[in-house]
Structure 1
Amino acid sequence: MSAPTLVVEGLTKQFGPLRAVDDLSFEVRPGAVTGFLGPNGAGKTTTLRMLLGLTRATAGRALVGDRPYVEHERPARVVGAALEASSFHPGRTGLAHLQVFAPQVGVSKARCAEVLEAVGMGHAAKQRVGKYSMGMRQRLGLATALLTDPPVIVLDEPTNGLDPEGIVWIRGLLRTFAAEGRTVLVSSHLLREVEASVDDVVVIAHGRLRHASPLAGLRAQATPATYVESPRLDAVTALAADRGWTVAPDGAGLLVEGGTAAEIGGGAHAAGIELHQLVSRDADLESIFLELTRTEGGQR
């Protein structure tokens, strides 16, 4: 089965006076990892629950391919999802948890052991879930999502509770899924947790779309910054003022914001200003993310 596109169109959810999701529209393409980003309470989990038919939308629709999730003949074979790492019976073993689901989704008991090994939980297969750490529960949730080897993977905050090694591991796993042509949607309230693994980003705040693009499109929103060292920093400052760039002291040099290395180098050459260092600084994506999710009144 080729992986379907996920389509969210005008999705809205009202809980009494609270509008948790507000006219939200975006798409998630196959062959890519899409980061679904926003602060806690932004409406991410509610959106994912509507996508999976667990919560009824007030308005709009969410499609897996050409139809809602629940209208697929065998939805669990199309989408593998892990929304909560705490929804396990504490008295069951990890293996028993998967074996409860196996007949419902049409997979063998052997597959249960196979996916536990795949997520690094083979050693804890016969340990009761009540004894699992948060990170182990995350891995068990992922194993549940992978039972049917689905073409679509939806994960809600999958790095919560993972140690640094676990975070690196899941990043690599997400990249593998995308390379296989699957559609991968991963929510997070921390851009830095998913920045190394995503291709596309969808940013929401207060239930509304703030930004949707490839990751490079988010980087393009950053103000360029360049570190400059020169024996004539006063002349560099004057050049920046003339071009409308801002400068700030930075160690032995200046940080020039608003001008690229090429623009500053060209301007300095034309003005006869000697430069000793000219280094582009990477965009601070976290600052862009915080600005996108800031409320109109300046509070986050």
Structure 2
Amino acid sequence: MTASSAPPRTPARLSVRGLTKHFGTVRAVEDLTFDVSPGHVTGFLGPNGAGKTTTLRMLVGLTTPTAGTATIGGVRYTELTDPARTIGVALEASTFHPGRSARAHLQMFAPAAGADAARVEQLLALVGLTGDAHRRVGGYSTGMRQRLALATALLGDPDILVLDEPTNGLDPAGIAWLRSFMRGFADSGRTVLVSSHILSEVQHSVDDVVIVAHGRLVHASPLAALAALAVRTVTVDSPDRAALTDLVTRRGWASEPAGAGAPGALRLLHVRAAEIGAAAFAAGVELHLLTEDAPGLEDVFLRLTGQTTGVAA
């Protein structure tokens, strides 16, 4: 993104402290606390319904918290003197007037963001919509609407960018472009907070992760630290399952049923296949299956959020 001619600014930290939101008896967000640092891309992750969008809406003053605070550089969004220049937000890609063109949409919001006609054209080019800028947004695909939402968020050339599920509707090339853009934005010293319900969509572009489930924080760390929570497993089976179970008990290995993928087999935790094979050979236990599974970050994410077979729809 081309830098503006405005004087340099010091990017602000996003801080959430004890943030809570109840809708009647529904506890959408409960006592949530985390920080988002300048120069980082932070993934805000959790299943659909985990409270991510509600949290982001409280951050930008669209929803009033039941308790706690969400601040930008120590102040609430409603107290910012120049919000469009401080934080750009793309929460939904479906709130455009269907009869208005992309160019007209940006031109309408440009004055409030301090942007001129040249900035509008620059952003249309940046998000790849120049050729379709004259078309009515009602005829846009979901991915094109996502690009227009990003362009709208960038009108004020903000220091902070907040994106809610921005890869929805994007093709692989669009996702790769967005990753590169977020990386460059953060590398310039600015701040990105991007939400997703699928870790694999953002794991190649984020530095830090904040994971929520049922409105509560379940994990916050640099992405690299998330891998330390991975549980290595080995799936094992024997024609003599009683002998295998006895061996597992005597060795003190943690185990669980392997599930539908290998009915009747065992999944052993925190142990290597070589150790199991050697112990089985020494004990005279014949093995018909010995498969080591290297856990990925997605496995850790699913375990932290209480999911077992995939991300909830």
Structures share a fold, TM > 0.5?
yes
Task: Quote the residue 1:244 is aligned against.
Answer: 253
Question: 1:206-228 CA distances to partner (integer Å, 9 max, x unpaired)?
Answer: 1111111111221111113589x
Shift, 1:165, TM fit: 1.2
Q: Does the CA-based 8 Å contact 1:107-1:148 persist in structure 2? A: yes
**Is this contact kept in 1: 2:253–2:269, CA < 8 A?**
no
Secondary structure of the corresponding residue to residue 138 of structure 1: helix
Match among 197, 210, 232 for residue 202 of structure 1: 210
Q: Indicate the residue corresponding to 1:154 in structure 2.
A: 162
Map 1:23-42; keep pairs closer than 5 Å. Answer: 23-42=31-50
Q: Which residue of 2 aligns with 1:114?
A: 122
Which of the numbers 281, 286, 293 marks the counterpart of 2:298? 286
- Secondary structure (helix, strand or coil) at the match of 1:39 reads coil
Unaligned 5+ runs, structure 1: 228-237, 272-278
**Cα separation, 2, equivalents of 1:99 and 1:257:** 58
C-alpha offsets along residues 213-258 of structure 1, whole Å, 9 cap, x if unaligned? 111221111113589xxxxxxxxxx79974737699x9xxxx9752
Deviations 1:162-209 (A, max 9, x none): 111111111111111111111100001111111111111111111111
What is the aligned counterpart of 1:141 among 143, 146, 149? Answer: 149
Structure 1 position 147, deviation (Å): 1.0
Counterpart residue number, 1:43: 51
Give CA-to-partner distance per residue, 1:88-140, whole Å, 9 cap, x none.
Answer: 00111101000000111111011011011001111111111011000000000
Does 2:87 correspond to 1:79?
yes
8 A Cα contact 1:113 1:125, kept in partner: no
The residue number in structure 2 matching 1:60 is: 68
Contact 1:32/1:184 (<8 A) preserved:
yes
CA distance in 1, matches of 2:127, 2:271: 46
Residue 235 of structure 1 is matched in structure 2 by: none
How far, CA to CA, are the matches of 1:98 and 1:58 in structure 2?
34
Report the alpha carbon displacement of residue 259 of structure 1 after superposing the two structures with TM: 3.8
Q: Quick one: which amino acid aligns to residue 85 of structure 2? A: R
User: 3-state DSSP class of the match of 2:229?
Assistant: coil
Task: Give me the identity figure in percent.
Answer: 57
Question: Which residue of structure 1 lines up, in the alignment, with residue 288 of structure 2?
Answer: none
TM-score when normalising by structure 1: 0.83
User: What is the alpha-carbon distance in structure 1 between the residues aligned to residue 248 and residue 92 of structure 2?
Assistant: 54
What amino acid sits opposite 1:132 in the alignment? Y
SS in structure 2 of the partner of residue 220 of structure 1: helix
Evaluate the alpha carbon distance shift between residue 55 and residue 225 of structure 1 in structure 2; reply closer, same or farther with a 3 A threshold. same
SS in 1 for 2:28: strand
Counterpart of 2:21? 13
What are the ranges of 5 or more consecutive residues in structure 2 without an aligned counterpart?
A: 1-8, 236-246, 283-290
CA distance in 2 between counterparts of 1:172 and 1:199 reads 13
CA gap of 1:241–1:193, structure 2 versus 1, over 3 A, is farther
Contact 2:86 2:159 in 1 (8 A): yes
Please give the root-mean-square deviation of Cα atoms over the aligned residues, in Å. 2.9
Alignment partner of 2:69: what SS?
strand
Give the conservation status (yes or no) of the 8 Å contact 2:16–2:35.
yes
Structure 1 stretch displaced more, 44-53 or 164-173: 164-173
Deviation, structure 1 residue 70: 1.4
Which secondary structure does the structure 2 equivalent of 1:30 belong to? coil
The answer on 1:183 being equivalent to 2:195 is no
Question: Using the alignment, how far apart are the partners of 1:241 and 1:92 within structure 2?
Answer: 71
Structure 2 counterparts to residues 92-103 of structure 1, below 5 A = 92-103=100-111
Q: Which amino acid aligns with 1:292?
A: L
Cα contact 2:253–2:268 (8 A) shared by 1:
no
Deviation of residue 74 (structure 1)?
Answer: 0.7
Matching residue within 102, 112, 123 for 1:104? 112
How far apart, CA to CA, are the structure 2 residues paired with 1:206 and 1:245?
A: 28
Aligned residues: 277
Q: Confirm or deny: 8 A CA contact 1:246 1:258 kept in the other structure.
A: no
Q: Which residue type is aligned with residue 42 of structure 2? A: T
